[in-house]
Homo-oligomer: A and B are copies of this chain.
């Protein structure tokens, strides 16, 4: 989900990552980040490759995977694993947590946030003596359009 954050802010976050890790700011990294910013997320590595190739012709899939791994580790992106096939999709992390509703017919993904669920999760973790790090919640169903 792209929130209020601007592309300039995302570039600044990339700059931070680059500086803090002694990395370099390559066109490929910027272009992949741009694709993630421009589209409203939920893209597979291959979709990202195809979109980013419009900006960086000749871009390789290995670079996409390496960049997605870096940006996820550094918190600029989030990945969502899907049920069956084990493949992942990526979306921009703009600082606001949310969960996903997924249409099993058309594969559309809708984001939502629910305070009640967030609180309850924390309580469940505590009652099982777990130190909660992360969570993922996916609701699978049929969207309004596909019900017709």
**Which residues of chain A have a CB within 8 Å of any CB of chain B?**
81-88, 101, 103-104, 110, 112, 114, 116-117, 120-121, 124-125, 128-144, 147
Contact A139 B129 (CB under 8 A): no
Q: Which of B84, B120, B133 contacts A142 (CB 8 A)?
A: B133
Which are the 9 A-B pairs with shortest beta-carbon distances? A86-B86, A129-B144, A130-B141, A132-B141, A134-B140, A137-B137, A131-B142, A135-B139, A133-B141
Contact (A129, B114) CB under 8 Å given A81-B83, A86-B87? no
Q: A125-B141, A137-B138 are in contact. List 16 more A-B contacts (CB 8 A).
A: A81-B81, A83-B136, A101-B130, A103-B130, A117-B120, A121-B137, A125-B139, A129-B144, A130-B139, A130-B143, A130-B144, A131-B147, A133-B140, A134-B141, A135-B140, A136-B138
